Structure 1
């Protein structure tokens, strides 16, 4: 079994949590941003309580937000004891720093628009120039995030669209994450059919899936099991 981390996002209810309890899942995500998968802090708290009762390794829980206020984050954490705040918008390094220092909680920062900067400028012709541009964007977040996530850009919901992005971006960002010892998690359009190819080609530290393990917009435990198997065993 390999050590690629698995995150299943957009969980809506206790039955889905219970169906996943014995799977080697590292993170479970709850969406608090406006989305068809949005839950309340109270609903998330109920699901977290079920997880905590489980006796074996418990997945860490992440709350997904898009450009939240500090007050919104404080209120959510007060009701739902999350392990991670996942920021999906244009949040500043200062907000990430505040979350870690004031809320004492991990930060996963999603960058979904880097392709607009790193893959479209024809004047950037060498790896060194691309790396320099990447560093300009990401260096302010060093020491303030616990993982960097790549996802498909969506101006409304931030992610969870089921669409893939240009995977050519991955090696560029990966050079930066390895240099700064920050895990790289890839999301955006992953499913049981393409996740093995992603892992064998790019070797990310983790993968994140939501719509890719759904049938008719409902989490499908068969797809979740297959996805996890293909990540952990890479079959």
Structure 2
């Protein structure tokens, strides 16, 4: 079993180098003005150019209008688009057709109903990313560094490849993999020394913990396209 590792919220060259050197699979760049990890297209493209042959590039967008998506795709040339807002299945189909890029769709999980809602996206997205559901008064989407009840994911049944996020760090990612059996894990604040500032030591520890869970033989759950 290989568990893909995505380090999200890249803003600095040191963090990106550390992710590459540690053996992470994907690096995420956030294009959302209310995020402390927001980055401009030109800055992201400059960073990505130094690592493109070593790591996959993911552009994270939140209910973005076409002009922003177009600018990100043209300037960054990402390998994936990650949609982290309230994008409908129809919007996913539109973006997939428009840009010919695989889609990662993020879902906030608070209860069983949130898991059930994912089924409406089967066949129109390439990967599911599950995160903790933010509070109703939150200024931005995402888990905000919190975890959720991973056992809820047993309700998914057959599904596209699953990425697990939300409150992960080197101390709990092994347990998360054993419980949820994801195809990938996504971390941001769990490898930071401050919002937007990635810590090379924490990145190495996180990657090592994931690879140790792989070696322990935690089986990824079955999925169907």
Shorter chain as normaliser: what TM range? 0.7 to 0.9
- Equivalent positions of 1:138-217 (< 5 A) are 138-154=118-134, 155-159=138-142, 161-173=144-156, 175-177=157-159, 182-217=160-195
Q: Is the 8 A contact 2:128 2:161 kept in 1?
A: yes
Q: Against the structure 1 CA distance between its residues 78 and 171, is the aligned structure 2 distance closer, same or farther, given a 3 Å change threshold?
A: same
- Equivalent positions of 1:43-58 (< 5 A) are 43-52=43-52, 54=53, 58=54
Q: Distance in 2 between matches of 1:95 and 1:107?
A: 11
TM-score, normalised with respect to structure 2:
0.86
Q: Give me the CA root mean square deviation.
A: 1.8
Query: Could you say which structure has the larger radius of gyration?
Result: 1
Q: Which moved more, 1:90-99 or 1:154-163?
A: 154-163
Q: Which moved more, 1:90-99 or 1:157-166?
A: 157-166
Q: Is the 8 A contact 1:14 1:46 kept in 2?
A: no
TM-score, normalised with respect to structure 1:
0.83
Return structure 1 stretches of 4+ with deviation > 6 angstroms.
none
Q: Does 1:229 align with 2:212?
A: no
Q: Is the 8 A contact 1:108 1:147 kept in 2?
A: yes
Gaps of 5+ in 1: 119-132
Gaps of 5+ in 2: 217-225
Aligned residue for 2:28, secondary structure, equals: strand
User: What are the Cα deviations for residues 116-155 of structure 1, in whole angstroms up to 9, with x where unaligned?
Assistant: 625xxxxxxxxxxxxxx82xx2343222111001101224
